[in-house]
Amino acid sequence: MELSGSVKRQRRVVVFDYGFGNVRSAERALARAGADVEITRDFETAMNADGLLVPGVGAFAACMKGLTEARGDWIVDRRLAGGRPVMGICVGMQILFARGIEHGVESEGLAEWPGSVEPLQADIVPHMGWNTVEAPAGSELFAGLDADARFYFVHSYAVHDWTLQTANPAMAQPRVTWSTHGKPFVAAVENGVLWATQFHPEKSGDAGAQLLTNWIGTL
């Protein structure tokens, strides 16, 4: 419930702590963007927050194992089913897809989106450093950002093909943002209440701060 006048309730965001992510960096960045932030893996707290941030660093399979052991897979699914916002970052984005393929080994993801996370097709791997993105028209995530805004990436795997399309033409299509390192790859997705970035907004300076502010503003 919003307060009267111009004063609004501070949004509560949980950074889900399942052992695979830069949770302190995410906490500081979200707090600077105006959120009331808590780092926890507590089930009820994560379920009831205005927004849930799922970070991720390391291997796809290991992150999925840690998330499942912390019941994070169930939390993400139940929040989305109830229209509660979730945002994934880096491997926290990758595990939202159906599968990850690392060193020839295929692991199941959360399958919120179809598609495979596969090795980057580039001469230099990992993709480490600053890069631009191509955001679609009408993006809420990148609102207020210049087309040449740069974001910080650290990854060796990515999704190169986006296949999901909403069957009902009356429903909004997912907004997919692309970047290029060797071959184009999915850099961010806005799909209803489920948003995600391959890059690290918490390490992306003013551009990342604006992006997190945009997300918090939708909660």
- The residues assigned a catalytic role are 90, 200, 202
C-alpha distances in Å from residue 28, one per residue of 18, 31, 37, 125, 199: 18, 5, 8, 29, 17
DSSP-based three-state secondary structure for 117: strand
At 12, list the tokens.
């509560």
Name residue 130's beta-bridge partners: 152
At what angle are helices 23-32 and 205-217 packed, to 10 degrees?
70
Give Cα 83 distance to the centre of its chain: 16
Map tokens 């949004």 to a residue: 11
Q: Is the dihedral of CA 127, 177, 130, 213 positive or negative?
A: negative
Residue 49: left if φ>0, alpha if ψ -120 to 50, beta else—which one?
Answer: beta
42 residue type, one letter: D
What is the spatial distance between Cα 20 and Cα 37, in angstroms, rounded to a whole number? 18
> Angle at CA 198, nearest 5°, toward 196 and 159?
100
